[in-house]
């Protein structure tokens, strides 16, 4: 049994003040033994948040990373820089990055750069509403895994720390989460596609996770945790989600 993993994606929200308040509220989660809790603040706040999270047993992640090591890439942030300031995880291929910034083509390079820096990549995958309606969910997931170089013959050691997050695009920010059965089905497809690696890789569900639906998602055999957007900045809701995930 893997320890459940709950990741909060704060997206482009917050200020120094509001983030300090959220951290005050969620600090006790770092002492909760049955769950690993990660928060992903915007880049500019990472260095300030990292000492606070590490002091209380919380983990910290970035929302994006460059596929390049360093150099003339204005506006980008390298994986070694994230490791340097104490990051543990990096979100890669979030659907907002894919849709708005064309990151679908970058995921293989980002994954490699993240692993080289010794960080844990959280590769986000998922179909949109039209693809779901056309019955293309499985093929979309397989092609996103293939674009990340994850289908066929990768050695477990090369991918130590990899996490996958199934995030159906139609469920993100809509209040309309996937049903537990649909989430389980998608997670099973992903685990099977990962082949020998599959048993090692935590697969998270993301998309309108709330305290009221997290337990039914977490009891599914292939759901190892959740990626939480909107609810992760609401201290009471996020605390309840983590407590329920720990119990599942
Ligand atoms: C997300 O953006 O990764 C996400 C899951 O958002 P929400 O929980 O708000 O649907």
Kindly state the tokens that stand for 51.
Answer: 């000492």
Q: Does residue 169 carry a pLDDT above 90? A: yes
Q: Does residue 154 carry a pLDDT above 70? A: no
Q: Does residue 29 carry a pLDDT above 80? A: yes
Mutate which of 206, 226, 234 to test ligand 1's pocket (most atoms within 8 Å of Cβ)?
206
From the CA of 94, give the closest atom in ligand 1: 3
From the CA of 172, give the closest atom in ligand 1: 10
**For 25-92, what is the HEC assignment?**
HHHHHHHCCCCEEEEECCHHHHHHHHHHHHHHCCEEEECCCCCCCCCCCCCCCCHHHHHHCCCCEEEE
From the CA of 230, give the closest atom in ligand 1: 9
pLDDT greater at residue 196 or residue 30: 30
Q: Quick one: pLDDT at residue 157?
A: 63
Q: What is the mean pLDDT of residues 13-28?
A: 96
Q: What is the mean pLDDT of residues 229-245?
A: 97
Confidence of residue 153 (pLDDT cuts 50, 70, 90): low
Confidence of residue 160 (pLDDT cuts 50, 70, 90): confident
pLDDT tens by residue, 189-206: 999 999 888 888 999 999
Task: Look up 212 and say whether it is catalytic.
Answer: no
The domain ranges of the chain are: 5-247
Q: Does residue 2 carry a pLDDT above 80? A: no
Distance 227 CA to ligand 1 centre (A): 7
Neighbour count for residue 76 (Cβ, 10 Å): 14
Confidence of residue 143 (pLDDT cuts 50, 70, 90): very high
Q: Quick one: pLDDT at residue 156?
A: 63
Q: In this structure, which residue's CA is closest to atom 1 in ligand 1?
A: 229
Q: In this structure, which residue's CA is closest to atom 2 in ligand 1?
A: 229
Distance 247 CA to ligand 1 centre (A): 22
Instruction: Report how far Cα 86 is from the mean position of its chain's Cα atoms.
Output: 17
Q: Quick one: pLDDT at residue 234?
A: 96
| Residue from 127, 167, 187, 237 carrying the catalytic annotation | 167
Task: Look up 64 and say whether it is catalytic.
Answer: no
Q: Quick one: pLDDT at residue 195?
A: 85
pLDDT tens by residue, 61-77: 999 999 999 999 999 99
Regarding the beta carbon of 63 and ligand 1, being less than 6 Å apart is answered no
Q: Quick one: pLDDT at residue 1?
A: 63
Q: What is the mean pLDDT of residues 128-145?
A: 97
Domain 5-247 has CATH 3.20.20.70: yes
Whether residue 85 contacts residue 46, with contact meaning beta carbons closer than 8 Å, is answered with yes
Closest CA to 237 of 224, 222, 226, 248: 226
């Amino acid at each position: 049994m893997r320890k459940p993993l709950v990741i909060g994606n704060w997206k482009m929200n917050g200020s120094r003040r509001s983030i300090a308040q959220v951290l005050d509220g969620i600090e006790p989660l770092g002492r909760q033994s049955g769950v690993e809790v990660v928060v992903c603040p915007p880049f500019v706040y990472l260095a300030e948040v990292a000492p606070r999270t590490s002091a209380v047993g919380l983990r910290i992640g970035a929302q994006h990373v460059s596929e390049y090591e360093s150099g003339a890439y204005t506006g980008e942030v390298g994986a070694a820089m994230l490791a340097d300031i104490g990051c543990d995880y990096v979100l890669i291929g979030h659907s907002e990055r894919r849709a708005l910034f064309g990151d679908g083509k970058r995921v293989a390079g980002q994954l490699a750069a993240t692993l080289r820096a010794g960080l844990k990549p959280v590769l986000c995958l998922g179909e949109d509403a039209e693809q779901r309606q056309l019955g293309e969910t499985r093929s979309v997931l397989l092609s996103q895994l293939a674009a990340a170089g994850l289908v066929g013959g990768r050695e477990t050691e090369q991918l130590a720390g990899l996490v996958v997050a199934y995030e159906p695009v139609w469920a993100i920010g809509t209040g309309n989460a996937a049903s537990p059965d649909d989430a389980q089905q998608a997670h099973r497809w992903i685990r099977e596609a990962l082949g020998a690696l599959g048993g090692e890789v935590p697969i998270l569900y993301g998309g309108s996770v709330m305290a009221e639906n997290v337990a039914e998602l977490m009891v599914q055999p292939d759901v190892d945790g959740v990626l939480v957007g909107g609810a992760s900045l609401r201290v009471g809701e996020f605390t309840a989600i983590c407590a329920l995930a720990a119990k599942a």
